[in-house]
Amino acid sequence: MTTTGRLTWKELLQRALDSNSHLKHSSFFQLSTLGLNGSPSNRTVVFRGFEDNTDRIHIQTDNRSRKVLELRNRPVAEICWYLADSWEQFRINGTVEIIDSSNPNSHRLQQRERAWYTCSLRSRMQYLGPAPGLPHLIETEHSSCQYSLDPSEGPVGTFCLLVLDPEEIDYLNLKNNSRMNFTCSKGPREEKCWTVKMINP
């Protein structure tokens, strides 16, 4: 991370999350992808934390969802996060890695399994339901399906972990009328190097 004497964008975000933690909606943000037809595609998702010792952001989803199809086509996305109590907005642009059951990386599969066990049982049950986005079929007494899940078993096939790797952050603070732009470049060892500049609100 950059050493400019200022807080890094991740430190700014963590501070904002702490100061807004009493607001339930502070753990939600909007995730925008590029639709298959080229138009914007936006939805609200839950912040599932940072990857250990990194600034990469975790999101959980159903691998049958539209966002996964869009990310397979173009693995880029932008987060828009507004923290209402502190009047701070974070727009986080980056690339997204999809980690599903077919991922060949054993470390990534372990991350996916750990993410699964952080979910409540109720959340896990949602991955057993019908594919999201398809027409809803009215269930009758004879056609309804009963789903069961062993809490000790690992992730089901539809569970997917998305990892957003930030490349540019636009930070706006409406209380002090300041705005900063953070951009990422790669160092000689492929490490992230962040630069920051003040821009007009």
Say if residue 5's pLDDT is above 70. Answer: no
Tokens of 42: 């936006």
- Determine the Cα–Cα distance for residues 44 and 140; give it in Å rounded to an integer: 31
With cut-offs at 50, 70 and 90, classify the pLDDT of residue 82. very high
pTM over 0.85? The answer is yes
Q: Show Cβ contacts of residue 157 under 8 Å, excluding neighbours closer than 6 positions.
A: 63, 100, 101
Domains and CATH numbers, the chain: 9-130+150-199 (2.30.110.10)
With cut-offs at 50, 70 and 90, classify the pLDDT of residue 1. very low
DSSP H stretches of helix in 74-196: 106-118, 121-125
Q: Show Cβ contacts of residue 104 under 8 Å, excluding neighbours closer than 6 positions.
A: none
Start-to-end C-alpha separation, the chain: 23
Q: What is the dihedral of CA 109, 74, 78, 181, to 10 degrees?
A: 110
Asked if 41 and 70 count as a contact pair (C-beta separation under 8 A), the reply is yes
With cut-offs at 50, 70 and 90, classify the pLDDT of residue 3. very low
Q: What is the dihedral of CA 67, 70, 75, 79, to 10 degrees?
A: -40
User: What is the CB neighbour count within 10 angstroms for residue 76?
Assistant: 16
